[in-house]
Structures are given as C-alpha cells and as structure tokens.
C-alpha cells in the first residue's frame, strides 16, 4: 500500500467533492424522508425469517450516531457505527482540502492487497452479522 499526496489531475475525478456531496445529500434526503413521517425501510429478510440480516439496525445506528448517541449506534449495528465514523472523518478531510485547495491523499493498493481487502470485507460483514444474530432480540419489538 502506498500513500501519495498529489493534486487532482485534469481527467481525474474529484473524489472529495463527489463523495462529500453524496454523503451530505444522503443525510439531507434521509432527514426530509423521516421528517415527513414517511415509512422506515423494511428489512424483508427479517420479515420472512424473523432473524436480522447482515445490515439490520443500520438506519437506527445512523440516526443514533447523528444524534451523538454513539454507544447506542454501536449496539444497533457495529459495522454501521464504524461506517458513519469513517464517513464523518472523510467528510472532515474532504471539506478541509476543498476549502484550502490542498493536495489530495491517494491510497494505491497492489493486486494482492486488493484481494486481501475483499476477503477482509467479507469477514467483517460476517462477523457483524454474527453479532446481530447473537443480539437478535433487539429487532423483535
């Protein structure tokens, strides 16, 4: 893995601007949706099996995170908690480099590292699902 600080090239996408806009837009749309009292997302896996899916509790975890209830967010869905934390950290970085017009951090992975990341991502998702299954009583009520 290599870390490189560089300017955005002429044909390179501006990832900081793109993903900062997507994350802020997503939070705004979700706030409007829930503020209007529209229905929460339904987990069809939970509806059919009675057990939580690998991402059950992510909406509740995100809402708890945005309200500053970090322990509750972690309890609802640890992976969603760390995802929210990562997005918050990326958004702070993206805003800083966009405002200051600074060089951008780029992470370059080798082929072997990419495969290891994929396997790790699947393992983390399965561990998170095991946690949710072990605490499935949270989702029955």
Measured CA angle at 98 (ends 95, 103), to 5 deg: 120
Measured CA angle at 23 (ends 17, 27), to 5 deg: 145
Q: What's the pLDDT tens digit per position in 53-94?
A: 999 999 999 999 999 999 999 999 999 999 999 999 999 999
Q: How far apart are the first and last CA of the chain?
A: 45
pLDDT value of residue 97: 96
Say yes or no to pLDDT of 141 above 70.
no
Across 107-127, average pLDDT: 96
Across 10-25, average pLDDT: 95
- Going from N- to C-terminal start, the domains of the chain cover 14-136
pLDDT value of residue 43: 86
- Distances in Å between the alpha carbon of 48 and those of 76, 94, 118, 126? 20, 40, 29, 20
């Amino acid at each position: 893995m290599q870390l490189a600080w560089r300017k955005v090239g002429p044909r390179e996408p501006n990832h900081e601007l793109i993903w900062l806009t997507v994350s802020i837009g997503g939070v705004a749309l979700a706030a409007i949706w829930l503020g209007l009292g529209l229905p929460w997302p339904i987990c069809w896996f939970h509806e059919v099996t009675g057990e939580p899916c690998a991402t059950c509790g992510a909406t509740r975890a995100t809402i708890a995170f945005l309200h500053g209830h970090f322990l509750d967010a972690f309890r609802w869905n640890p992976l969603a908690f760390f995802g929210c934390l990562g997005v918050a950290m990326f958004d702070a970085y993206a805003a800083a480099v966009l405002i200051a017009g600074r060089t951008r951090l780029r992470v370059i992975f080798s082929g072997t590292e990419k495969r290891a990341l994929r396997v790790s991502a699947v393992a983390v998702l399965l561990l998170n699902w095991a946690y949710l299954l072990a605490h499935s009583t949270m989702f029955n009520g």
